[in-house]
Structure 1
Amino acid sequence: MASKKATIHDIAKELNITASTVSRALNNNPRISEATKKAVLGMAKDLNYQPNNLAAALRKGKSQLIGIIVPTINRSFFSSVIRGVEEVANKLNYRVIVSQSNEDVDNEIATLNALLNARVDGVLVSIGKNTDRFEHYKDLMERGIPLVLFDRTTNEVGTSQVVIDDYLGGYLATEHLIKQGCKKIVHFTNLKQVNIYKERYRGYLEALRDNDIPFDESLVYQSDMQLVDGRNCTEQLLASHKKFDAIFSASDYAAVGALQILKENGVKVPEDVALVGFSNEPFTSFTDPSLTTVSQFPIEMGQAAAESFFEILEAKKKKFIPQKTVLQPELIIRDSSLKSGK
């Protein structure tokens, strides 16, 4: 049988003091003597006392917890964002609870409810690719709970956002390929609800227009942007016998899938086809050839998202105007795109 959980009343009984004195001692109240605090902490350790954080949160109105929802946890990008959030939050004595939606809107809603039941003080979210309903976030804001969207955001919810300039990233990637002499540039994308792919696509289109290269809709391939999708799209591309000399993928994972199929079919990268990805995942510097990509600075994004959260928290009693923080991307040029050797 499990042993009964110790309470402040058990500590009080052992020390022959009141429960309120124990509570004050545990909370380092200056009205309690150092000797009493030491005795209480010692007895709490002996009895293996664990504080009821939920009850404390209800009393104080704050839990010192931030909920984070990401589409998937096994990506370097999102783990780096979380690291950035923690760097800011921990300095202010906040901790984070991380959950993943697995790109499923129903799971996203259930995860949000679980975090609210844990009494988090607010939520940072990168929405899933398949999220097409936003009532759960609108309801959150109506209840006055701070919400910050990062990376994958939507304008359906009027709250603070932290993003990279995905349009500029798409423009820089496409412009770089054009400068390498490429004129038939394929684009791998996902034009559903998620703004990031729409913006990267817009950058791709603008770079073509600015350089007087006709847009060919048949060179745009849509998928879920995973490695297998990059493989499948490239197989379809080769089977179509369309002429192309470059691929700009809005995801590093799909870019690596493309690289695999090109090599398996004897297509030389970058001599025959130049290749650029997006995100600067750690593996991109180890592919053969190494992958040109766009850095999103995820740690800085996490830091900015946490700072936005605390700004909302501080302004809770006043009217808060949502802010959009836009970080600047950087094109990381590697071997996969250097057709001209530049």
Structure 2
Amino acid sequence: MENSKEITIYDIARSLELHPSTVSKALSGDPAISKKTKKRILETAAEMGYRSNLFARNLRQQNSLTIGVIAYELNSSFTTPMLSGIETVANEAGYGIILTDSSRSSQKEAANAQNLFQRRVDGMIVVLAPETDSFEHFRPFIERRIPMIFLDTEAPFPESMSVMIDNFQCGLMVTRHLLGQGCRRIVHLTPDHQQSIYGQRYKGYREALEEQNIVFEDGLLVVAGGSEEASEKAAKKYFR
């Protein structure tokens, strides 16, 4: 039967007839251990199947070297490259990420936040679910002074940060472009024109219309769900 016992530094020390503290220092890269001894220890550790208990070590050092990420969907033209960038930069800094998907549900978002808090992440990056209207599930992070960054939305806490684009300019520029192409009846399709980021895009749209003295038509504002499927369904219904 295959031995499933976890190999420890004491097993390596007995095998090499060294003191456990010497093995521990070598495995942690302590320069006080000679290169020759360190090489012997690392080779033996690999042969015996030793696995470093990073969680226990980091717990003693009061950090986990992990960043929690909550996104409302993982497979989209917006989130996929963003998540790739987060992982690349985190890895370069020696951090791992724990990625969670709220599936556009504020309830699942809250459950993910609690799970990440229990895992003692060192920081949080959040893309809020469209339906989120309460931020209390993030308060434990704020109280513990765990850094939080909210993407594409205004930070709900003074202690947190936001990374956003200029949504007003986006709405303004895209509407100006269509007007420049000769369009005069331009539909504004949005998940919610009252919510912060969508509201700013809507204001940009209205501003562009006013610049050309075009009277806004209530029927040209179409409010649909935030998913691609919901937007496509709303557009087909409007234009059929």
Whether TM exceeds 0.5 here: the answer is yes
The C-alpha deviation readout for 1:124-143, integer Å capped at 9, x for no partner, is 11111111110122321111
Separation in structure 1 between the aligned mates of residue 234 and residue 217 of structure 2, nearest angstrom = 16
Give the AA of the match of 2:96. Answer: R
Residue of structure 1 equivalent to 2:171: 170
Residue of structure 2 equivalent to 1:222: 223
TM alignment of 1:233-312, pairs within 5 A? 233-238=234-239
Q: What is the CA distance between 1:193 and its match in structure 2?
A: 7.7
Residue of structure 2 equivalent to 1:88: 89
Separation in structure 1 between the aligned mates of residue 31 and residue 232 of structure 2, nearest angstrom = 65
Residue of structure 1 equivalent to 2:42: 41
Residue of structure 2 equivalent to 1:183: 184
Aligned length: 238
Closer, same or farther: CA 155–30 of 1 in aligned 2, 3 Å: closer
Query: RMSD in angstroms over aligned alpha carbons?
Result: 2.0
Separation in structure 2 between the aligned mates of residue 39 and residue 91 of structure 1, nearest angstrom = 28
Q: What is the CA distance between 1:189 and its match in structure 2?
A: 0.2
Residue of structure 2 equivalent to 1:25: 26
Closer, same or farther: CA 210–138 of 1 in aligned 2, 3 Å: farther
Q: What is the CA distance between 1:38 and its match in structure 2?
A: 1.2
Residue of structure 1 equivalent to 2:103: 102
Q: What is the CA distance between 1:155 and its match in structure 2?
A: 4.2
Separation in structure 2 between the aligned mates of residue 193 and residue 36 of structure 1, nearest angstrom = 66
Separation in structure 1 between the aligned mates of residue 101 and residue 192 of structure 2, nearest angstrom = 22
Residue of structure 2 equivalent to 1:331: none
* Identical-residue share of aligned pairs (%): 37
Residue of structure 2 equivalent to 1:279: none
* Partner SS, residue 12 of structure 1: helix
Q: What is the CA distance between 1:157 and its match in structure 2?
A: 2.3
Separation in structure 1 between the aligned mates of residue 130 and residue 227 of structure 2, nearest angstrom = 12
- 1:122 equivalent to 2:123? Answer yes
Separation in structure 1 between the aligned mates of residue 120 and residue 156 of structure 2, nearest angstrom = 25
The answer (yes or no) to whether the contact 1:188–1:225 under 8 Å persists in 2 is no
Separation in structure 2 between the aligned mates of residue 79 and residue 4 of structure 1, nearest angstrom = 39
Any gaps of 5 or more consecutive residues in structure 1? 239-264, 266-342
Give the AA of the match of 1:98. Answer: L
Give the AA of the match of 2:177. Answer: H
The C-alpha deviation readout for 1:154-210, integer Å capped at 9, x for no partner, is 343221111111111111011111122222111110117853222211211111122
Residue of structure 2 equivalent to 1:197: 198
Closer, same or farther: CA 194–115 of 1 in aligned 2, 3 Å: farther
Closer, same or farther: CA 61–127 of 1 in aligned 2, 3 Å: same
TM alignment of 1:59-98, pairs within 5 A? 59-98=60-99
Residue of structure 2 equivalent to 1:156: 156
Q: What is the CA distance between 1:7 and its match in structure 2?
A: 1.5
Residue of structure 2 equivalent to 1:139: 140
Closer, same or farther: CA 75–231 of 1 in aligned 2, 3 Å: closer
* Partner SS, residue 76 of structure 1: coil
The answer (yes or no) to whether the contact 1:187–1:221 under 8 Å persists in 2 is yes
The answer (yes or no) to whether the contact 1:191–1:222 under 8 Å persists in 2 is yes
Closer, same or farther: CA 130–39 of 1 in aligned 2, 3 Å: same
Closer, same or farther: CA 63–4 of 1 in aligned 2, 3 Å: same
Relative to the length of structure 2, the TM-score reads 0.91
Relative to the length of structure 1, the TM-score reads 0.65
The answer (yes or no) to whether the contact 2:130–2:226 under 8 Å persists in 1 is no
Q: What is the CA distance between 1:119 and its match in structure 2?
A: 2.6
Separation in structure 2 between the aligned mates of residue 187 and residue 217 of structure 1, nearest angstrom = 10
Closer, same or farther: CA 119–138 of 1 in aligned 2, 3 Å: closer
Q: What is the CA distance between 1:220 and its match in structure 2?
A: 0.8
Q: What is the CA distance between 1:89 and its match in structure 2?
A: 2.5
